[in-house]
Amino acid sequence: MKKFQAQPGFVVQAFRFALDPNAQERSLRSHCGAARAAYNWAVGWVEASWWQRRAEETYGVPEAGLTQWRPWSLPSLRKAFNEAKHTGPRFASWWEENSKEAYNTGLANAAAAFDNYAKSRQGKRRGRAMGMPRLKSKRKARLSCRFTTGTIRVDADGRHVTLPRLGTIRTHEPAGKLLAGVQAGTARILSATVRHERGRWLVSFQTEVERDLEHVARPEVAVGIDLGVKTLAVTADSTGEIRTVPNPRHYDRAREQLRRASRVVSRRQGPDRRTGQKPSRRWEKANAQRNKVHHRVANLRQDALHKLTTGVAAEYGTVVVEDLNVAGMLRNRRLARQIADAGFGEIRRQLTYKTRRRHATRLVVADRWYPSSKTCSGCGTVKAKLPLHIRTYECDACGLVIDRDDNAALNLAALAAAAVTGTGVAGDQGTVPAVSKPRGADRKTRTTRPRRKAEAGRAGGATLPHQRQTETRDRTQAEALTLW
């Protein structure tokens, strides 16, 4: 799919609105199901040639006589799908019920999944290793469909949207802001994506918007943000002002309500895949009530994080945050629930794009091993060890006594000037720290992962059946990536 290039003075922005469909809900689910079916077809079509070649090799077929590799580029998948939808029994009877954009959504997602897998295998993609694309389950797949062509607009009343084949759907909230931009010529709709999320149907318009950079209230002031569980965030700016943002703990407050709702669900006749048992009406009603509690918690968390990040991005010219290993922190079974409820990763993601909207605003990310909590904000002395249960920092060199989180926030704010002065000490910006970092003081988390049972089994020389199957699949896929 062709990527959009924004014009000078224009930015790409999304406008999301909740929908109130009536008879269109069946069509919405049909379009999203068609996207899932097209995705599964593309994955199976590409994999079929891989396994066919593997089977032919076991019969001694020479390389020249093996089945050719099937390409996974989007144009190739479109061409093959257009041939299969007319003749194949899977799509021939119902593919005309949905827009072509629904099938294109699934094919585009499959092409992107294969590209990510290929780049990960070749070492061209950062992050964790990507596995082979797998089929999407009808029960668990997220309902989503994207429209790039056809009639995509916000109606003149600002309370309805029109999408291809779906027709006019009423919005739960007014879309006047987007409509005013379209009518004034400062906004242009590029695509629309419908999705079922948190019990509601949502539509997201990707638009090209003309917008000037916004100015911050104090562009010369830098702020350091120290995230935590006891308090959601402690902000300290370069002027010495410290603010504490309490942790709302939305999930903990709703745990008792969730416990009661889950108890009601467990007493109803639920689904059972082993026996084919269907859920009762009472179970579906109770499960919907429990989901409402989860959705409310997610909405409250999102609202609180947006208010925090918007206020920070609108006030300070430089924002300093830590490069936290959130995925590793979630492995701690004692703190995983509190960390997930706080939303550390979401805070950094929102600050990343919100600081780009401001004029002369930058986001500084501290190194993951920077000892912000162990460093004295007054003289720069670094402690070798500082356990989590010690909440007050006491400096042995200068005698400074300060709250642990306040000290970390001050050190993070000092990093904004470190690029100019070469230091990262909050108390004295022009001198080198008095004591160098002792051994182990610059690391907060473990650098290695605990050994898994599978790794222990391989070390002992034992190979399990599922391991042999995985190794065979990896070799087959590696050959495909090499030749394709």
Query: Of 52, 91, 92, nearest to 70 (Cα)?
Result: 52
Active site residue 403: no
- Across the chain, mean pLDDT equals 84
Range name among 90-99, 276-285, 407-416, 450-459 with the lowest pLDDT average: 450-459
- pLDDT above 80 (res 451): no
- pLDDT above 70 (res 435): no
Measured CA to CA, the distance from residue 458 to residue 150 in angstroms comes to: 55
Token representation of residue 251: 């999930």
Active site residue 226: yes
Backbone conformation region of residue 242, classed left if phi is above 0, alpha if psi is from -120 to 50, else beta: beta
- Taking residue 167's Cβ as centre, other Cβ atoms within 10 Å add up to 14
Query: Of 20, 42, 33, 190, nearest to 98 (Cα)?
Result: 33
**What's the mean pLDDT in 266-291?**
94
Residue 418 confidence (pLDDT): 65
Range name among 188-197, 259-268, 360-369 with the lowest pLDDT average: 360-369
Name the catalytic one among 47, 101, 208, 226.
Answer: 226
Q: List, in sequence order, every beta strand (DSSP E) within 63-158.
A: 144-147, 153-154
Range name among 90-94, 180-184, 306-310, 469-473 with the lowest pLDDT average: 469-473
More confident residue, 426 or 36: 36
Residue 297 confidence (pLDDT): 96
**What's the mean pLDDT in 27-44?**
95
- pLDDT above 70 (res 474): no
Residue 142 confidence (pLDDT): 92
Residue 439 confidence (pLDDT): 37
Residue 109 confidence (pLDDT): 96
Total count of residues recorded for the chain: 484
- pLDDT above 70 (res 444): no
**What's the mean pLDDT in 371-395?**
89
Cβ(226)–Cβ(174) under 8 Å? no
Residue 215 confidence (pLDDT): 85
**What's the mean pLDDT in 376-381?**
89
Q: Where do the structural domains in the chain lie, given as residue ranges?
A: 10-19+145-210, 25-121, 218-366
Find which of 30-34, 63-67, 401-405 is predicted with most confidence, using mean pLDDT: 30-34
- pLDDT above 70 (res 431): no
Cβ(407)–Cβ(393) under 8 Å? yes
**What's the mean pLDDT in 163-192?**
94
Active site residue 237: no
Measured CA to CA, the distance from residue 164 to residue 372 in angstroms comes to: 53
* Structure confidence at residue 302 as a pLDDT band (50, 70, 90): very high
Beta-carbon contacts of 250 under 8 Å, excluding residues fewer than 6 positions away, are: 297, 300, 301, 304, 341
More confident residue, 403 or 212: 403
Name the catalytic one among 47, 208, 237, 322.
Answer: 322
Beta-carbon contacts of 45 under 8 Å, excluding residues fewer than 6 positions away, are: 70, 77, 80, 84
Range name among 53-62, 109-118, 181-190, 357-366 with the lowest pLDDT average: 357-366
Cβ(27)–Cβ(165) under 8 Å? yes
- pLDDT above 60 (res 426): no
* Structure confidence at residue 415 as a pLDDT band (50, 70, 90): confident
**What's the mean pLDDT in 282-310?**
95
